[in-house]
């Protein structure tokens, strides 16, 4: 599916967030939430920085929307129903579930998430729970894969003991 110029700009904004995550030593996933044609939230993974495994890009965007709604005295249920999500990697099961519970309108993502994907790669959360958001897959997938490869070439100092890459002693 071809994106409009504006949709491409939104996906580029998500990739900007993913690149920031990579620079910060986080898994490079970036996300933007679009409401009424405007970027209302920008997020990236902050799992390592916060030492909180739930701080995915989507969850950080949700928090920003809730803050925006409170500041603007707007009902968040009404806002989330009009949210379009642009994210560089397929949402995990946790994120797909909360996006469905919040009744967002659609998700556009880059590459599939073969380890934790919640929109069909590992588990199809929308189908499982009857969520009706539209899904567009594979947008700039190679670029998203490239960022993930760049991250996994390095060592994650925040990985649990026994999970960090070991240096080859040969």
pLDDT digits (tens, 9 = 90+) for 99-145: 999 999 999 999 999 999 999 999 999 999 999 999 999 999 999 99
Q: Give mean pLDDT, residues 36-47.
A: 98
Q: CA 44, CA 56: separation in Å to the nearest integer? A: 7
Average pLDDT over residues 35-49: 97
Q: List, by residue number, the catalytic residues.
A: 58
Task: Tell me how far apart the alpha carbons of residues 168 and 170 are, in angstroms, rounded to a whole number.
Answer: 6
Q: Which single residue is written with the structure tokens 């994106």? A: 3
Q: 3-state SS of the chain: helix, strand, coil percent to 5? A: 40, 20, 40
How does pLDDT run across 74-103, given as a tens digit for each residue? 999 999 999 999 999 999 999 999 999 999
Q: Would the pLDDT of 20 be above 70?
A: yes
pLDDT tens digits for range 149-166: 999 887 655 655 555 554
Its pTM stands at 0.90
Q: What percent of the chain has pLDDT over 70?
A: 90
């Amino acid at each position: 599916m071809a994106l409009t110029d504006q949709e491409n700009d939104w996906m580029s904004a998500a990739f900007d967030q993913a690149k920031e995550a990579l620079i910060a030593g986080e898994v490079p996933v970036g996300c933007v939430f679009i409401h009424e044609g405007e970027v209302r939230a920008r997020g990236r993974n902050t799992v390592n920085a916060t030492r909180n495994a739930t701080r995915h890009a989507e969850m950080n965007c949700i928090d920003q929307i809730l803050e925006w709604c409170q500041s603007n005295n707007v009902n968040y249920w009404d806002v989330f129903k009009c949210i379009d999500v642009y994210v560089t990697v397929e949402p995990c099961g946790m994120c797909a579930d909360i996006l469905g519970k919040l009744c967002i309108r659609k998700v556009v993502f880059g590459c599939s998430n073969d380890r934790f994907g919640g929109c069909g790669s590992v588990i199809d959360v929308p189908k499982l729970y009857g969520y009706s958001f539209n899904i567009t897959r594979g947008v700039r997938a190679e670029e998203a894969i490239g960022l993930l490869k760049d991250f996994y070439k390095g060592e994650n100092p925040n990985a649990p003991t026994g999970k960090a890459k070991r240096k080859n002693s040969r």
